[in-house]
Amino acid sequence: MTQHVLITGGCGFIGSNLVRFVLEHRPQWRVTNVDLLTYSGNRANLADLEGHPRYRFVHADIRDRERMSALVREADAVIHLAAESHVDRSIQDTRPFVSTNVLGTQTLLDAAVDAARAGTFRRFVHVSTDEVYGSLPLERPQDRFTEDSPLRPSSPYAASKAASDLLALASHHTFGLDVVVTRCSNNFGAYQYPEKVIPLFVTNLIDGRKVPLYGDGLNVRDWIHVEDHAEAILAALERGRAGRVYNIGADNEHANIELTRRLIALCGRDDSFIQPVADRLGHDRRYAIDSTRAAQELGWKASRSSWPQALEATVRWYRDNERWWRPLKH
């Protein structure tokens, strides 16, 4: 049984929720959280855990081979989430995405291979995205991405994640490292940096500002609550098969225009708050995940993601936690 897990990017949105989930649901485990605290890494996400006897924060760069080697040697497993993750930013400047998502991942994998050879390391869980698969057509709603779908990333962000996925799997096949890769659909929930669509729209609407809707608004995403994702990551760590990829989704597809109107209604506004803007370059039309393998092999299924309840709870969280998001708005 894993006792000490190293979580990279634990001050980000998914990472901070995962840290909390592990400490709550695995009462014997210790967590080391390594984060560089770039713009979306926010130590305030976990401020209430400072001084927790089973939690440690380390401010470090995953590209630092010496630091990562020392930290990985101390751990039984790594859950790797640290990444540059915003598609729009990757279009503006690709270099940080290649540096962190590709080179940073390789640095961690090298450290894990060395630790495994020393006999002290059990598993490396690489957390990725459904965006590596590219886009599905709107006119074929029955189509879903499976783990055998070809990798056809459309954005620099997705390409950097696809590269890191392949490096992780190559470390398994070449060096025998125990690696599991998860690919998840769009997350929502508490502590999400307010450049992403749900917190951006909710906080804009709270402030009486319009919300920017890309293109025709018909792009479809499969939404999963971040706590469902955290549970799936733990299932992959504990029950996944080495060298396998697991798709993680909630079968919760909604077009962007539908999401926008739901948020507008929940915030007591009307359609006059929609500001159409030019579509994102290379904007994927539809994502949809087939999570059959995760259900069959991990015994996992989403249970917290259903709308409207989960979306309403998320909006309430941002309403009730203005002190958290207000300093992050530009």
Q: Which residues are catalytic?
A: 130-131, 157
Which two tokens mark 285? 């039309």
CB contact at 8 A, 180 and 126 = yes
Question: What CA–CA distance (Å, rounded) separates 140 from 2?
Answer: 42
Among 14, 29, 124, 110, CA closest to 78: 124
Q: Which residues pair with 145 in a beta bridge?
A: 289
What are the CA-CA distances from residue 330 to residues 57, 204, 274, 323, 327 (Å)? 27, 11, 19, 14, 8
Query: 270-304: b or e for each residue (b if 16 or more CB lie within 10 Å)?
Result: eeebbeeeeeeeeebebbbbbbebbeeebebebeb
Q: Residue 91, class by beta-carbon neighbours within 10 Å (0-12 exposed, 13-18 middle, 19+ buried)?
A: middle
What are the CA-CA distances from residue 193 to residues 6, 18, 32 (Å)? 22, 15, 22
Peptide bond preceding 308 in cis form (omega within 30 of 0): yes
- Residue 62 one-letter amino acid: I
- CA distance from start to end of the chain: 44
